[in-house]
Chain A
Amino acid sequence: MELARPPGPFRAEFWRSPLRGPWLASFLGSLLLPMIVICAVTGFLSHAAYNPGLDGNATQRAGDGFDLYFFDWPTSPAWIYAVNQGLHVITGIVAIPLLFAKLWSAIPKLFEWPPVRSPAHALERLSLALLVGGSLFVFFTGILNVQLWYPFGFGFLPAHYYGAFIFLAALTLHVAIKLPVVRRSFGERGVVRPLRDDLEHTRPEAYDHEADSTAPEAPAAPTLSRRGLIATIGAGSLGLFIVSAGQAIGGPLRRLAVLAPRGGDIGGGPNAFPVNKSAATAKVTPALAGANWQLQLEGPSRASLFRFQLADMEQHTEDLPIACVEGWSTTQTWTGVRLRDLAKIVGAENATELVVESLQPTGAFRKAAFARNQLDDERSLLALRVNGEDLSLDHGFPARIIIPGAPGVHNTKWVSSMKWTS
């Protein structure tokens, strides 16, 4: 028995936009795909940057998950992590107008009738639910995370990471299934030829009942050309770029980044650059970081050093970026002791791993482990000063780690102990 077709969006006459059709879906998909690829690659690299193979570093629990990273995260170029995270967050934000446009172009298919034609059709629609839900889930958990808003009752990192597996699997399948449609549409209409038409020459894509496409059966007269639609989406993306990208790119753009969590104006002075986690939040008090503070070093031998003893050692100055996983970064001039010089004190010149702990009593990143290439780099410092002044408490006084190319959260602040192992 045939089910009666319900009214409204289940009727072909409901969908009247003359711009929808397989060419438009193909074109929007082809714009979206490279952005998703950049976002995905930088996302997985961002996970690799934690050196998840080292003790306690993995945010996804090393070993028992899909944690196949076979390389130590490099220290050169020093901006590698800043650029990686900047790309990840910027592409994730500016892709949003395109994602909405792609969903708009495809939405008549949500109301297909009959809802299920065959087992193949049912399974494919299930995979499309994973694609649509997965794309919105992964993009928006990331977007909420950079604004430090966690209304969800689950851990952000595993949900965003494994959510991406679902999204990317469904996307790969979707692209494979639609490839013939993409090739046919581009073959028939050209890849960009429909963009030449102004409003007067804008014609609907041919409705083809057999092909079961999104092209309208009863198109209305166009009120916007295809290039007008693409330009509007581009304006939306450009707007998002302008108000947010400056927090990663810096320079004059930073002042324009008025909707970025770490953009805009941040005042003056040597310590005036963004703080990811303040001393108050980390529960590090001035007393803990005061005159009684001693740095504990442990290798083949042990040592304890007061801050004035560290300041008496040979000081080195490096311009290095500090870059947050949330996409903002800033390059500052750091002065302090080389990690290599500290290792010598406890006879740990040949150590292959260093674990740094913070005064911070609790928290996911109170501790970080570093690989040999990071210890051996002569730019790797235990910094005491920034831009010629002592670190402020919020920036890690009495001393913080600064390692070229390392994730911001691994540049441990308020260092209490350092332990080298082989």
Chain B
Amino acid sequence: MRSFRGLYGAGPLHALGLIACFAVTGYAVIRIFDFGGATTVLVWFACAIIAHDAILFPLYSAADRVAERLPGATSAPRWINFVRVPAIVSGVMLIVFFPLIFEKGPASYKAATGETLTNQYLEAWLAITGGVFLVAAVLLGAHLARARRAGGTLAS
């Protein structure tokens, strides 16, 4: 066992688990091949990783770092979380519903549903975004007033 671990880098159970995982993956890939378009599936798997790890993550962490350096963001009065929370609420809605918001599938969508729906998705998303930032602004106002009052008592 010592030599197996030495060669492989982990115990035999670890190896068995990985073999099982890759066996299921192989089976699934073969099944997807049966339906055609399998190469496209693999490309989309890779694109999903790239879209998250190389685009979305660097973008939002860079935005956060820029915001952190603005005056008062992380030191008193520390407003950063009053921006982070509404930005995240609005941002995940955009990431999840961007096809509707930007009418990505309008032709098929409107035709398929007989245009019975009157939702204005872009307007709805903009209104929600405005709403959550407004709520955050009101809360920040209350936070600043409290900080000023606390600061005032400290100063006196």
Do chains A and B stick together as partners?
yes
B115 — which chain A residues lie within 8 A by C-beta? 278
The answer to whether B53 touches A132, judged by C-beta atoms less than 8 angstroms apart, is yes
Q: How far is the CA of A107 from the CA of B58 in the complex (A)?
A: 11
B105 within 8 A of A: yes
Binds B, one of A170-178, A304-312, A373-381: A170-178
The answer to whether B96 touches A281, judged by C-beta atoms less than 8 angstroms apart, is no
From DSSP, what is the main secondary structure of chain B's interface residues? Answer: helix
> Which of B17, B18, B52 is within 8 Å of A103, CB to CB?
B52
A233 — which chain B residues lie within 8 A by C-beta? 88
Q: Which residue of chain A has its CB nearest to the CB of B102?
A: A149
Q: How far is the CA of A235 from the CA of B74 in the complex (A)?
A: 21
The answer to whether B17 touches A173, judged by C-beta atoms less than 8 angstroms apart, is yes
Distance of B38 from chain A, by nearest CB (Å): 7
Distance of B145 from chain A, by nearest CB (Å): 19
Q: How far is the CA of A69 from the CA of B78 in the complex (A)?
A: 56
Q: How far is the CA of A133 from the CA of B134 in the complex (A)?
A: 36
Q: How far is the CA of A276 from the CA of B117 in the complex (A)?
A: 11
The answer to whether A107 touches B93, judged by C-beta atoms less than 8 angstroms apart, is no
Distance of A126 from chain B, by nearest CB (Å): 8
Q: Which residue of chain A has its CB nearest to the CB of B108?
A: A148
The answer to whether B46 touches A223, judged by C-beta atoms less than 8 angstroms apart, is no
The answer to whether A259 touches B113, judged by C-beta atoms less than 8 angstroms apart, is no
A44 within 8 A of B: no
The answer to whether B114 touches A166, judged by C-beta atoms less than 8 angstroms apart, is no
Q: How far is the CA of A133 from the CA of B52 in the complex (A)?
A: 9
B9 — which chain A residues lie within 8 A by C-beta? 117-121
Q: How far is the CA of A153 from the CA of B22 in the complex (A)?
A: 25
A123 within 8 A of B: yes
B78 — which chain A residues lie within 8 A by C-beta? 223
Contact with A along B7-24 (1 / 0, CB 8 A): 111100011011011101
A41 within 8 A of B: no
Contact with A along B25-45 (1 / 0, CB 8 A): 101110110111110110011
Contact with B along A69-80 (1 / 0, CB 8 A): 000000000000
Total A-B pairs, Cβ < 8 A: 237
Contact with A along B80-124 (1 / 0, CB 8 A): 110011001111110111011100110011011111111101001
A300 within 8 A of B: no
Distance of B129 from chain A, by nearest CB (Å): 10
B99 — which chain A residues lie within 8 A by C-beta? 144, 147, 149
Distance of A250 from chain B, by nearest CB (Å): 15
> Which of A143, A154, A162, A177 is within 8 Å of B28, CB to CB?
A162
Q: Which residue of chain A has its CB nearest to the CB of B127?
A: A258
**With A148-B108, A236-B89 as contacts: A394 and B116 at CB distance below 8 Å:** yes
Distance of A216 from chain B, by nearest CB (Å): 14
Q: How many residues of B are in contact with the other chain, CB < 8 A?
A: 73
Q: How far is the CA of A158 from the CA of B35 in the complex (A)?
A: 7
B121 — which chain A residues lie within 8 A by C-beta? 258-259
The answer to whether B114 touches A275, judged by C-beta atoms less than 8 angstroms apart, is yes
Q: How far is the CA of A252 from the CA of B29 in the complex (A)?
A: 43
The answer to whether B52 touches A266, judged by C-beta atoms less than 8 angstroms apart, is no
B144 within 8 A of A: no
Q: How far is the CA of A165 from the CA of B45 in the complex (A)?
A: 13
B74 — which chain A residues lie within 8 A by C-beta? 221, 223
Contact with B along A281-312 (1 / 0, CB 8 A): 10000000000000000000000000000000
A165 — which chain B residues lie within 8 A by C-beta? 24-25, 27-28
Q: How far is the CA of A137 from the CA of B52 in the complex (A)?
A: 11
The answer to whether A103 touches B57, judged by C-beta atoms less than 8 angstroms apart, is yes
Q: How far is the CA of A345 from the CA of B100 in the complex (A)?
A: 47
A396 within 8 A of B: no
The answer to whether A118 touches B117, judged by C-beta atoms less than 8 angstroms apart, is no
B48 within 8 A of A: yes
B49 within 8 A of A: yes
The answer to whether B100 touches A127, judged by C-beta atoms less than 8 angstroms apart, is no
The answer to whether B116 touches A259, judged by C-beta atoms less than 8 angstroms apart, is no
Q: How far is the CA of A104 from the CA of B32 in the complex (A)?
A: 30
Binds B, one of A23-31, A48-56, A93-101: A93-101
Q: Which residue of chain A has its CB nearest to the CB of B51?
A: A136
Q: How far is the CA of A158 from the CA of B30 in the complex (A)?
A: 11
The answer to whether B48 touches A280, judged by C-beta atoms less than 8 angstroms apart, is no
Residue pairs across A and B with Cβ atoms less than 8 A apart, 17 shown, are A93-B96, A100-B52, A120-B15, A120-B18, A133-B49, A134-B45, A136-B49, A148-B108, A149-B105, A153-B37, A166-B25, A173-B20, A176-B17, A235-B88, A258-B124, A262-B117, A281-B111
Additional 12 contacts, C-beta under 8 A, given A97-B88, A236-B91, A277-B113:
A124-B18, A134-B45, A137-B41, A147-B104, A153-B40, A154-B38, A155-B35, A159-B44, A163-B45, A239-B128, A266-B116, A274-B116
Nearest 3 A/B pairs, CB to CB: A118-B9, A154-B37, A278-B114
Interface residues of B (CB under 8 A from A): 7-10, 14-15, 17-18, 20-22, 24-25, 27-29, 31-32, 34-38, 40-41, 44-46, 48-49, 51-53, 56-57, 68, 73-74, 78, 80-81, 84-85, 88-93, 95-97, 99-101, 104-105, 108-109, 111-119, 121, 124-125, 128, 132
